[in-house]
Structure formats: structure tokens, C-alpha cells
Amino acid sequence: MNLARSFTALNKLLNFVKITRTCVAQSHSQPALTAETYNVKRGNYSTTNASDLDTFRDIVGGNNVVTEASELQGNNVDWIKTVRGQSTVLLKPKTTAEVSKILKHCNERKLAVCPQGGNTGLVGGSVPVFDEVILSTQRMNEVISVDPFSGVTVCQAGCILEKANQDLLEHDLIVPLDLGAKGSCHLGGNISTNAGGLRLLRYGSLRGSVLGVEAVLADGTVLDCLSTLRKDNTGYDIKQLMIGSEGTLGFVTAVSILCPQKPKSVNVVFLGVDRFEDLLLLLRKARQDLGEILSAVEFVDSDCIGLVGKHLKLVNPIGDYDFYMLIETSGSNSQHDEEKLSSFVEDIITSQLAKDGTIATDFNKMQSIWKLRESVAEALTHDGYTFKYDVSLPAHVMYDMVHDTRKHLKGLYNSVVGYGHLGDGNLHLNVTCPEYNKTIASAIEPFVYEWTAKHNGSISAEHGLGFKKRNYIQYTKSKESINLMMKIKEMFDPNMILNPYKTLPDKL
Amino acid sequence: TMARVLVGVKRVIDYAVKIRVKPDKSGVVTEGVKHSMNPFDEIAVEEAIRLKEKKFATEVIAVTCGPTQSQETLRTALAMGADRGIHVEIPADDYVKTGPLQISKIFAKLAEQEKANLIILGKQAIDGDNNQTAQMTAAVLDWAQGTFASELKLEGEKLTVVREVDGGLETIDLKMPAVVSADLRLNEPRYATLPNIMKAKKKKVAKLTAKDLGVDLASSIEILEVADPPQRLAGIKVENTEELVGKLKEAGLV
């Protein structure tokens, strides 16, 4: 009798283990096809045939036309593994001329094209939805010129951000942009999404630091707006349309960026507090005491620290608090900066505005502290299916959104976390759950968008609209604006071949 | 019997900085360059503090030798938990000529003065890469030595050191007093928390000169030249095997 009972118990245990393992396996294997998960219809495009492939091979060479399904797996799926396209062709041009010939052909044949850089986008904008031809910038990775006096750097769109930074180090320059995806993202993609990142606080938006853009339009026309001038008020600034239009108005092939001097002195402070309000008080004090040397102000909540500890084994250098703040300073004189920091730190500890904290004393420690913030996105991928929201909100209500989301989704989620660019008013709200299903999806959206609109925020501060958020654009932009955007799109791309199903809704 | 620990810390150019040789080849550029505590010394400080926390040591004294800026490193050691600091001030011009031999004599004299019975140093400084100071200090004092320590255990008068050697790990027992040099895997140094950084400001830092200790800084070594290693020649990328074979044939290699 006892044997039978223990045998049943053992069976139950084995089944449980099998089910758990299958669930885990599912969350790490291929996501479902976008076309099957979302309500989207394939546009009236042609399908690539043998003759098209021959033409492509003539333009870029046989080696740079990829049609093998196994090789295309990575290019059809986004970085957070939430959408999957069905492209059967990937093209790897090396020059703007090649891109021009490709697009001219695709336009004539009415073949849809999906521009792809480092494929690190977070709104499903960098991968195909159906069988769009993937046009990749991976071979367009030359730094064309660097002017060490003005800091103006011209590079091809396929330059990886981190590599560009390393190349610029020789001239004591840095790219005015930094984000967690730096090891993989391409500058062309960064410009096409008007990426924000960790140092927007100090160096401003790409709309200010990008001086010129070279792009190829849908019909193959090369649009040369690749100026290296800081000031040029001659007519309408067309390059601004290329910036942030997510590859829907043109394929960016080269950029000219104004790069700042590499700071001589960098310091990182990591602080712990118990209330979100304290973060805002610290932010204000940091602006007052460290103003001109502030280069980044970020925050994470305790759930984030828990996740990076659990999934990535990253160690928290200070005690457990509800909120953490990362302050980075960059200046030209280490003595001055250390003095400013020292008195700031003394003030906040004496007044207990910060409960605890640490100052990184060497680069190693600085990187470790930055990792705590930059790896949150990666840690979330290990926590289940992630719904990512990136919103601009008034500072004082920012974390209320996290609280309200937790209440609203009670019982449905693994984690609801809040972190982000505190200094820019930009919250990254993430919800993880065991796996994607329509119940959770419909509970989350449009709840988060309505919440944002109620506070006059932006439903996408920096990630863009891509595939996932294009149908919510009206929560932030007026009907008139959207109408105008659609007219502009029609003018630039009458056959709608550039990155279809992205950025703008099909109709209002 | 509890240990009284002396820890040596050196201010070096941060390991992540790209080193530049001065145009006159007399040395490397240090002006305006980020400096921090030698990583192995950080590990040494951490180990000393852990000994104190486990009640195997009564006091941890951090020592640094060098010009005024070396004091920054002492502050870091104090913020990590060292009880007090000693700065042996050596003016910049003399410091350039100072090496392990002079430093080891300084440490030896201080150990006697402070009645320390355990000296923990980093195995080498990342600027000099000499890996000599711990060994020389032990020799001057005629103390036992355990170098390249990846594990340390103190039981009364016996110090057990696991050493990282080429063939693997070697475990030795030392009779105190002893000198230990810390290797990478000995521990993971703690972060200095802000409250401790504040407390450190109140800890005592004594200033001495080599002359006060009766140590002669004269060196028998003179640096003639510092130069960059030869530039690595760029390779080229080829598109396919045919091109690879073609290039190899061109270069007369096949």
C-alpha cells in the first residue's frame, strides 16, 4: 500500500517537473509568428522570385544574399523574442549605391522591405511581419571621417555604437549617445529611432547632435543631407524627417554626428532610498550641487535589483532599499569634480536624504554599478514573457503608474517593475508573466496607454512605435498630426514598401 | 594571540585607462589620468578587514608610499574598514626612482615600529609588475612568506596559505610572523559605502618620511627609456575561401 502511494507521489512529481521544464523551454524557444498572434493583414506586395534573387546577387554578390532558413532565424525574431516574421531573403549591401539599386528594384517590383540594423529594437520595428526582404546594414560599418577639432564624425549606418566609441577614443571623442544595447546596435538604427539612452540628460537628443543624414528613398533616390555643419538654416530640414521615422521614410545609409570631448573625469554614485519622493529630492539637489557635471541620472526599483541578482548574479553593493539612484558625473578636472561630489555626498548622508550609497572608486566598480541598471532588460527576459512600456510622464506621478499597474494586474504577473531615466522623466514599466496570452495582453493594453494619456504623457518616450505601438499613436498625437504624417509617408513612399506595418497605423 | 596587520596600498593608473607613453619616452602620461588603488592591494585590504571582522586581527593599518596624491588611496582603504593610515611621503622626483627594494625596507621598518606580525600586500602593482615587494619585505625581516595567496586561514600562530602556482594549488603552513601577497582569487573586495566614507574622514593618517624611518631611498636602477610595444599590423578580411587561397598564394605562403 505504502509503495503504491509513494509511486503515485513520485509520478506526480515527475509530471510536475516535466510541465515546468516544458514551460521554461517554451519561453526560450521561438516566439509565435507575428502574423498568427496579431491582427494584421499582409499588404498587396509581390513575392520574391528567382529573378529577383538573381538581380540581388548581381548587385551585392552571391555571398551577401542569404536565403537559408536556419541562417535567417535570428533576423526574423526581435531581441526580446516576442515577434517573429517570415522573411526568406536577407541582403547585405556594402555601399549606398548598392542600397539605391536594391530599393529601386524593390520599388519597381512592389517588394516590401524591412530595414535592419543591430536588431535590438524593443517595439518589433526591426524585424519583418510577413515576408519582407530584410535589408541589413551589417556590412556598412566604415567610419568615413573624424574631425578631431570640431568633433564631427561621419560614419556609415552599420557602425556598431560601442565600436564607434572605441574608434573615437583615439581622438579623445565620444559618441553623444549611450544605451544598454551598445554592443550590438547600429548608428543607422539609433538615428532612425531617435534613440534616447543614458546620456540624453547631458548631450541632448540626436535631433540636436546629428548634423547630417544620407538616406536612400523608396524609389532608389539617394538623398544626400550629409552636412558636417553645426549651423545651416537653408530651407526645410529634411534630415529631421529621417531621424525617428523608423525606416519608414528612407533607408539611412550614413550619418554625421557632432561628438563631444571624452570627459577626463567620470564618477559614479549609487544611492539607496525608501521613497520615490526622495529620488526626486535627490535629483533636485544633484542638479543644484552637480549641475554642470551631471551626465546621467537613472533609477531602478527593488524588484529590478532582485531580478539582476537572481538571473544574472549581479551583486548589490549597498543594503536593500525600495529605490536606487545612479548618478554619473563627467567633467574636465577630477579634483574639482571630486570636491563637488564629496560635499554633495556629505550633505545627503548627514541629512539622511539618502539612506545609504557608494561611490565607485575605479572603472571596474563604475562598470559594475552601471551593469546593475543596464542589465535589467536582460534579466527580465529570464523572468518570463515581457511586456515593455516606455513612457514620458510628469516626475511626481511616475512611480504611481507602477503601483496602479500592479493593482490592476493582480494575480496575473510574475513581476511589474519600474526603472529608467529619472532625469528625463522617462519611465520603463515592464510586466512579465509566465507566457503571452490574450487575457494578460488585454488587461495591460490599453490600460497603460490610457493611464499615460490621462497624465498628458507620451506612450513611447524613446523606443518608438515600431510594430507594437503604432495603433496607439493617437493616445499622444492629435488626429491632425497623424493625418499629416500619413500624407508625408505617401509622398515619400507611394508604394509603401519601406518597413510596412510599422510606426503609423494603417488607417485612422 | 591576535594578529596586528599592516597592509600596503599603492596608487596606480586605473587599469581600464589606455596608457600613453610621454613623447620624451621618459615614462607614461600620468597628468589628468584616472588613478585608483592597485587592484591586488584592494584584495589585500579586504582580506585584512575580514580577518579583523572574524576576530583574528585586532588592528588593520594601511600604508602607502608616494607623493601627496597617494593619500587618496589611503582614504579608500580607510573607507573599506582599515583602522588608521600611514603615509610615507616621497616627493615625486624621488618616487620615480623608487622600487620594490626601497619600499620593502620601509614596510619592514614600519612593521617593527607598529609591532605588526602580519603584512599583506598585493602580489604586484599593475604599473611596475615587479612582483618583488612582498618577497623582499619577508627577506629583510627574516619572516615567513606566502605569496600568490588564493586562500588564507589563521589559527593562533599558524597561518595556512593556499598558493596559486603554475602547476595548480600549493598549500603551505607558515609560522607567524609572516608576509603574504594577495592573488586575484583571494576574495572579492567590498564597496566603500557612503557612511563608511564619512567615518573614514575622521580616522587618523600619520605622515612620515623615509628619513624618519632611517631608510635610504638610493636606487641602483636607472630607467633609460619607456617605449610603446611595436604596433600590431592590421589583418585583412576576405570574402570567401577562393580569395583566402588567392591572398595566401600572393604572399608566397602556398
**Residues of B at the A interface (Cβ-Cβ below 8 Å)?**
14-18, 32, 34, 36-37, 39, 76, 188, 190-195, 197-198, 239-240
A20 has a pLDDT exceeding 60: no
Mean pLDDT within A196-225 = 96
| Min distance A361 CA to chain B CA atoms (Å) | 7
Domain that holds residue B99: 3-250
**C-alpha of B19 from chain center:** 18
Number of domains in chain B: 1
Of A169, A359, A367, the CB nearest to B18: A169
The DSSP code sequence of chain B is: --EEEEEE--EEE-TTSPP-B-TTSSSB--TT--EEE-HHHHHHHHHHHHHHHTTSEEEEEEEEEESGGGHHHHHHHHHHT-SEEEEEE--HHHHHT--HHHHHHHHHHHHHHHT-SEEEEES--TTT----HHHHHHHHHT-EEEEEEEEEEEETTEEEEEEEETTEEEEEEEESSEEEEE-GGG--PPPPBHHHHHHHTTS-EEEEETTTTT-----S-------PPPPPPP----SSHHHHHHHHHHTT--
Q: How far is CA B55 from CA B2, B72, B155, B193, in A?
A: 8, 27, 11, 22
- CA–CA gap between residue A212 and residue A368 (Å, rounded): 35
- CA–CA gap between residue A490 and residue A308 (Å, rounded): 45
| Min distance B114 CA to chain A CA atoms (Å) | 28
- CA–CA gap between residue A394 and residue A290 (Å, rounded): 22
A70 lies within 8 A of chain B by CB: no
A326 lies within 8 A of chain B by CB: no
Q: Residue B157 sits in a domain of what CATH number?
A: 3.40.50.620
Of A222, A344, A356, A347, residue with least CA distance to A293: A344
- CA–CA gap between residue B103 and residue A274 (Å, rounded): 47
Stated length of chain A: 508
Of A264, A317, A362, the CB nearest to B32: A264
Spell B37-65 as b/e; 16+ CB within 10 A means b: bbbbbbbbbbbbbbbbeeebbebbbbbbb
Chain B residues with beta carbon closer than 8 angstroms to that of A271: 194
Of A345, A361, A362, the CB nearest to B194: A345
Chain B residues with beta carbon closer than 8 angstroms to that of A350: 198
Residue A19 has a pLDDT of 41
A113-116, strands of its sheet edge to edge:
A65-66, A90-91, A133-136, A113-116
Q: How many of the other CB atoms lie within 10 Å of CB of A421?
A: 24
- pLDDT tens digits for range A334-388: 889 988 998 999 999 999 999 999 999 788 899 999 999 999 999 999 999 999 9
Of A61, A357, A361, the CB nearest to B194: A357
Q: Which of A 245-304 lie inside 8 A of B, CB atoms? A: 264-266, 271
- The C-alpha cell that represents A5 in the structure block: 502511494
Contact A318 B191 (CB under 8 A): yes
- Residue of B12, B19, B71, B194 to mutate, interface with A, max A Cβ within 10 Å: B194
Backbone angles phi, psi at B130, to 5 degrees: -75, -40
- The C-alpha cell that represents B157 in the structure block: 600562530
Task: Flag the least confident range among A100-114, A433-447, B102-116.
Answer: A433-447
Residue B159 has a pLDDT of 96
Whole-number percent of chain A with pLDDT over 90: 87
Of A156, A101, A121, A2, residue with least CA distance to A467: A121
Average pLDDT, rounded, for chain A = 93
- The C-alpha cell that represents A431 in the structure block: 510586466
Of A61, A334, A349, the CB nearest to B195: A349
CA torsion sign, A63 to A65 to A71 to A74?
A: positive
Backbone angles phi, psi at B43, to 5 degrees: -65, -40
- pLDDT tens digits for range A62-91: 999 999 999 999 999 999 888 999 999 999
**C-alpha of A229 from chain center:** 28
A143-146, strands of its sheet edge to edge:
A143-146, A152-156, A251-258, A210-216, A222-225
A364 lies within 8 A of chain B by CB: yes
- CA–CA gap between residue A254 and residue A188 (Å, rounded): 7
- CA–CA gap between residue A120 and residue A104 (Å, rounded): 27
Which residues, 6 or more positions from B42, have their beta carbon under 8 angstroms from its beta carbon? Answer: B9, B76, B80, B122, B189
- CA–CA gap between residue B228 and residue A439 (Å, rounded): 63
- Residue of A174, A330, A344, A361 to mutate, interface with B, max B Cβ within 10 Å: A361
Residue A4 has a pLDDT of 46
Mean pLDDT within A282-290 = 97
Contact A169 B16 (CB under 8 A): no
The DSSP code sequence of A122-179 is: SSS-SS-SSSPEEEE-TT---EEEE-TTT-EEEEETT-BHHHHHHHHHTTTB--S---
Chain B residues with beta carbon closer than 8 angstroms to that of A169: 18
Cell 529611432 maps to which residue? A193
Of A61, A350, A362, the CB nearest to B36: A362
Which residues, 6 or more positions from B18, have their beta carbon under 8 angstroms from its beta carbon? Answer: A169
- pLDDT tens digits for range A472-485: 999 999 999 999 99
Where would I find the beta strands (DSSP E) of A30-74? 65-66
Contact A363 B17 (CB under 8 A): yes
- Residue of A336, A341, A358, A367 to mutate, interface with B, max B Cβ within 10 Å: A358
Residue A12 has a pLDDT of 55
Q: Which residues pair with A398 in a beta bridge?
A: none
Residue A11 has a pLDDT of 53
A357 lies within 8 A of chain B by CB: yes
Of A465, A347, A325, residue with least CA distance to A398: A325
Residue-by-residue pLDDT tens, chain B, 254 positions: 789 999 999 999 998 888 999 999 999 999 878 899 999 999 999 999 999 999 999 999 999 999 999 999 999 999 999 999 999 999 999 999 999 999 999 999 999 999 999 999 999 999 999 999 999 999 999 999 999 999 999 998 999 999 999 999 999 999 999 999 999 999 999 999 999 998 999 999 999 999 999 999 998 888 899 999 888 888 888 889 999 999 999 989 98
A28 has a pLDDT exceeding 90: no
Of A61, A318, A365, the CB nearest to B193: A318
A44 lies within 8 A of chain B by CB: no
- Residue of B76, B191, B196 to mutate, interface with A, max A Cβ within 10 Å: B191
Q: How far is CA B36 from CA A224, B33, B77, in A?
A: 47, 10, 11
Q: Which residues pair with A269 in a beta bridge?
A: A327, A359
Give the pTM: 0.85
Chain B residues with beta carbon closer than 8 angstroms to that of A362: 14-16, 34, 36-37, 39
Q: Which residues pair with A428 in a beta bridge?
A: A390, A419
The DSSP code sequence of A393-433 is: --GGGHHHHHHHHHHHTTTT-SEEEEEEEGGGTEEEEEEEE
